[in-house]
Amino acid sequence: MLYSSDIQLIKPKKRWQAVNHSVLQQKNIQLWLCHLDTGLPEVSGNKCLKLKYHLLQVVQSGFAGVVTFGGAYSNHLCAVAASCHAMGLKSVAYVRTDELDITNPTLAFCQQQGMRLIALDRGRYRQRSEPAFITGITASHPDLLLIPEGGSSAAGSLGVSELDLASTPDGNADLILCATASGGTLAGIVNGHDCNALGIAVVRDASLPSRVQQLINKTCAEKQWRVDGSFAGKGYGHFDSNLLAFCRSMAAQKVYVEPIYTGKALAGAIKLVEQDQIPSGSRLSFFHTGGLQGLQGLRHRNLITAADFALLSGSMAD
């Protein structure tokens, strides 16, 4: 059984949405967005897939819950907090911050869901993948399953690999695209599909292709995939007024994206079409990986206006 009763709460429903853009029209390209929704709004997009096998392991191995890592505005932390709360599990998060600011809406949400938050300064946070550090964390929380940052692990990619992103309502996609940060989502897409896959990096990280490679099954070695690093701009979390304007233009057609992940990657995809780097006549499938909760953090830091928050989050949509 793919979804046992334990994890029914995070079983997603798939929804396709066509994207219109003058560049796509000019180049005769179809672009379909694939959404995944669960009953828990914070556990949409790639989150429900990346958490599936981790949470199954928690339940089947008798762990009391989960310990994980993330930034102070992390979508992953919200997803872990919400799913653990709904499943009656404990959750603990090591947060990349000097001091926990509970006026931050992401951390406030996590705390409301019962997640225990522990601040880790940037120096110590950088050690999060080192074996000695991981051993220390698991020793401190022997009753909890450790999930790596972003849920990117073999178990996370396995969940993603089960999603059929290739069968768009208009027929098979020629290329599947997604926003890429820690790499687990792209690796899962490659493992689960035969068509080409392209990760648009939203972070500046030269090691990203090798991190993706590590999560790709040996049997998939011949598959065609790549990471495009040309749209990360100044790096993770940075965006300019053009990108914000793009997100607004998408919201006007009820395509809701934010400028950290999905908006940055979707704008990059359209730029690649404009630059003729994607063959004219192609059919594209873009995985909407979720993350709209991040808009609250952007608003909290005054990086977007209240009007943009309402527009981009769809709260003004009917």
Does position 75 interact with ligand PLP (CB under 6 A)? The reply is yes
Rounded to a whole number of angstroms, the minimum distance from the CB of residue 136 to ligand PLP is 24
Does position 106 interact with ligand PLP (CB under 6 A)? The reply is no
Residue number of the CB closest to ligand PLP reads: 291
Applying CB under 6 A, the span of 119-127, 180-188, 189-197, 307-315 interacting with ligand PLP comes to: 180-188
Does position 153 interact with ligand PLP (CB under 6 A)? The reply is no
* Burial (CB count <10 Å: 0-12, 13-18, 19+), residue 22: exposed
At residue 96, what is the residue type? R
Rounded to a whole number of angstroms, the minimum distance from the CB of residue 265 to ligand PLP is 7
Query: Cα separation of 300 and 256, whole Å?
Result: 19
Rounded to a whole number of angstroms, the minimum distance from the CB of residue 287 to ligand PLP is 8
Applying CB under 6 A, the span of 56-64, 173-181, 218-226, 234-242 interacting with ligand PLP comes to: 173-181
Does position 291 interact with ligand PLP (CB under 6 A)? The reply is yes
71, 159, 184, 192: residue in contact with ligand PLP (rule CB under 6 A): 184
Does position 83 interact with ligand PLP (CB under 6 A)? The reply is no
Does position 289 interact with ligand PLP (CB under 6 A)? The reply is yes
Give the nearer residue to ligand PLP in terms of CB position, either 4 or 226: 226
Which tokens sit at 9?
Answer: 């709460």
State the DSSP string of 56-122.
Answer: HHHHHTT--EEEEEEETT-HHHHHHHHHHHHHT-EEEEEEESSS--TTSHHHHHHHHTT-EEEEE-H
CB 95 within 8 A of CB 71: yes
Alpha helices by DSSP H, listed for 126-207, are: 131-140, 154-161, 184-192
Query: Cα separation of 187 and 211, whole Å?
Result: 9
Beta strand 196-201 with 175-180 is parallel
Does position 290 interact with ligand PLP (CB under 6 A)? The reply is yes
- List the one residue out of 36, 112, 83 whose CA is nearest residue 292: 36
65, 70, 150, 268: residue in contact with ligand PLP (rule CB under 6 A): 150
Does position 293 interact with ligand PLP (CB under 6 A)? The reply is no
Looking at the DSSP bridge assignments, the partners of residue 36 are 14
Rounded to a whole number of angstroms, the minimum distance from the CB of residue 171 to ligand PLP is 26
Applying CB under 6 A, the span of 55-63, 178-186, 228-236, 239-247 interacting with ligand PLP comes to: 178-186
CB 257 within 8 A of CB 250: yes
Binding residues for ligand PLP, rule: CB under 6 A, are: 45-46, 75-76, 150, 152, 179-186, 261-262, 289-291
